[in-house]
Structure 1
Amino acid sequence: MTVPVLGLEALEAAARPETVFETVRAALIAHAEDRTTVPAPLHLDFPQAGGDCHVKAGWITGDDDFVVKIVSGFYRNPDRGLPTNHGLVCVVSALTGQVRAVLDDRGRLTAWRTAAAGALVTHAMSRADAGTVGVFGTGEQAGLQVEWLGMLRPLARVLVHGRDARKAAALCDRLGALGYEARPAAADETAAADIVITTTPATAPVLAAAAVRQGAHVTGIGADMPHKNELPADLFRRAETIVTDDHSQCLHHGDFGHAVRAGAVAEHADTAAGAVLAGPARRSATAVTVADLTGVGALDAALASALIRSTAW
């Protein structure tokens, strides 16, 4: 038996935003309702090369397939003219154990599901009139978070903060070409936006908790390994609502876990992201809310299966 290998071109043709949003939303709800199997991620760190690698797996109860995914992030690659992220997804039958397909997605499936999950949760948790977005980070996911959130709500202005001023300006140019009003900004100004999104591989907080205004929502995307940390513990202490995509995983891998270990919040102070998406989110106009998203293998399984069904092969 020859295993089909689906390349990026075929997957991009199948990955319509409405398909990705619908699939990711349903998978987050299934995960919140304990209808998934998600083992702890395996992670490798390559400090000498500025890189890391995740191996994640997942299955939604009753689905025909499960997946095992490898995705890497090597953050010096752009200086070498190479993409930061790469990876592949192995789709396996949950009925026979046979490999159905290998998705040579170059890490794009992870990028799409991360963008969709971030946008869905951020949109649900932000004030209805929130229009200014502050983004920490200048890589692929920083741009995708803005683009995918912009599919769900109008964005009045985008502020970008990055360690490299040239990369921040370049991201603003890319967003400007898509019709967004975007400009580089200092860290405190970026953190004072209505909506704040962090998308970095930082190992120490990238913003000050005091810089976040009352009524703001903050979504942390980048802290997906134990040594990473984007959001300060005091921000969680201020939060009226804390959402995680996976409680145990965020305790071990995410910013939520750093806040718990610092004594800022209790271990069970969080709400499942899928529970927020399943019903109307409630928040006061002055509340600070925080989402910690570390990436759940069940979302990869659902999206890989959906893209296979939409692909002629």
Structure 2
Amino acid sequence: MTPLVVGTSAIKRATTPELVFAVVRDALIAHAHDRTTVPPPLHLQFPDADGDCHVKAGWVTDTPGFAVKIATGFYRNPAAGLPTNHGLVCAVSARTGEINAILDDQGLLTAWRTAAAGALATHAMARPGAATLAVFGTGEQARLQVEWLARLRPIDTVLVHGRSKDKTRSLCEAFDALGHHARPALADEAAAADMIITTTPAPTPVLQARHVRAGAHVTGIGTDMPHKNELPPALFARAALIATDDHRQCLDHGDFGHAVRAGVTTDTSDTPVGLLLERPVERPDGAITVADLTGVGALDAALAAAVLRELAS
């Protein structure tokens, strides 16, 4: 049987942010309660092309299908007029092993589930009144993190820190058009915001821990491979609450793992993000909280299944 191939146009028609939020939330909760199977990711690097690839798989217990996903990031692509990210998701029957569908999403579902996971974690862990958001990075995920978090809580001001002045200015203009009062910021100013989200492939930390103020929340989403490191270990030493999307992955190649190896926190100091989505987070107003998200294959499986259900309905 020839598998169904689903392109981006159909995926966009079948998918809403509300659907993605619900699926990602439920999958993170299931993962926190060990109701998933998620093997270690496969990583490939292409230094000459400034590119990387990761392959992730996952299954939510007792669901009819699992997924295998390929996601790439080639960071010189924009200079050639190409998107930075590409990918596809292969949906497979967990009962027969047959390939049910190939979602040729060009990385779209990865981008959406990452945006939803970051927004959910940030909203759950930040102070209720936090309204100033800083984003490190100027790519697609930087834009999505702001737009999707704004669906969950009001954002008064967005500070954008990026290496390119032109890209930073362009992203600020896009946010201004959405009413977010955005402006470029130096790293130390951005790190002093109420909420900070880092969205870069940086190999060394993009901010300094001492610039993060008491009461702030920081979400790191870019450290999805061993050679990346967005958040400094010293930030984890200051954190009253550390959350990870996958304990083993974050120890292996997340910012949390860098902090553990630096000896500033222990390998048991984290809490699954999914547990924090189930109940209100207890945090003193002056506490610093940190979420380290490396991307979980079970989320890809759950979202692929939801899209296919919507297309079939």
Q: Smaller-chain TM-score range?
A: over 0.9
2:287 is matched with 287
Q: Distance in 2 between matches of 1:267 and 1:33?
A: 19
**Alignment partner of 1:303: what SS?**
helix
Measured after TM superposition, the shift of residue 178 of structure 1 is 2.1
2:131 is matched with 131
1:170 is matched with 170
How many positions carry a matched residue from both structures? Answer: 313
Measured after TM superposition, the shift of residue 43 of structure 1 is 0.5
Q: Cα RMSD over matched residues?
A: 0.7
- Residue 224 of structure 1 aligns with an amino acid whose one-letter code is D
**Alignment partner of 1:48: what SS?**
helix
Pairs within 5 Å for 1:254-293: 254-293=254-293
1:56 is matched with 56
Pairs within 5 Å for 1:233-272: 233-272=233-272
- Residue 115 of structure 1 aligns with an amino acid whose one-letter code is A
Q: Distance in 2 between matches of 1:128 and 1:4?
A: 44
**Alignment partner of 2:263: what SS?**
coil
Pairs within 5 Å for 1:101-140: 101-140=101-140
Measured after TM superposition, the shift of residue 177 of structure 1 is 1.9
Q: Distance in 2 between matches of 1:63 and 1:115?
A: 24
1:46 is matched with 46
- Residue 301 of structure 1 aligns with an amino acid whose one-letter code is A
Q: Distance in 2 between matches of 1:267 and 1:309?
A: 39
1:31 is matched with 31
Measured after TM superposition, the shift of residue 280 of structure 1 is 1.1
Q: Distance in 1 between matches of 2:15 and 2:79?
A: 29
Pairs within 5 Å for 1:153-232: 153-232=153-232
- With structure 2 as the length reference, what TM-score do the two structures score? 0.99
1:96 is matched with 96
Identical positions, percent: 66
Deviations 1:225-247 (A, max 9, x none): 01100000000000000000000
- Residue 212 of structure 2 aligns with an amino acid whose one-letter code is V
- Residue 176 of structure 1 aligns with an amino acid whose one-letter code is D
**Alignment partner of 2:282: what SS?**
coil
**Alignment partner of 1:251: what SS?**
helix
Measured after TM superposition, the shift of residue 253 of structure 1 is 1.2
Q: Distance in 1 between matches of 2:83 and 2:174?
A: 16
- Residue 22 of structure 1 aligns with an amino acid whose one-letter code is A
- Residue 167 of structure 2 aligns with an amino acid whose one-letter code is K
2:72 is matched with 72
Measured after TM superposition, the shift of residue 296 of structure 1 is 0.1
Q: Which 5+ residue runs of structure 1 have no aligned equivalent?
A: none
- Residue 295 of structure 1 aligns with an amino acid whose one-letter code is G
Q: Distance in 2 between matches of 1:253 and 1:18?
A: 30
Mapped pair 1:2 → 2:2: yes
**Alignment partner of 2:311: what SS?**
coil
Deviations 1:218-268 (A, max 9, x none): 000000101100000000000000000000000011000000000010011
1:149 is matched with 149
Measured after TM superposition, the shift of residue 21 of structure 1 is 0.3
Mapped pair 1:298 → 2:306: no
Q: Which 5+ residue runs of structure 2 have no aligned equivalent?
A: none
- Residue 299 of structure 1 aligns with an amino acid whose one-letter code is L
Q: Distance in 2 between matches of 1:290 and 1:14?
A: 33
Measured after TM superposition, the shift of residue 312 of structure 1 is 3.9
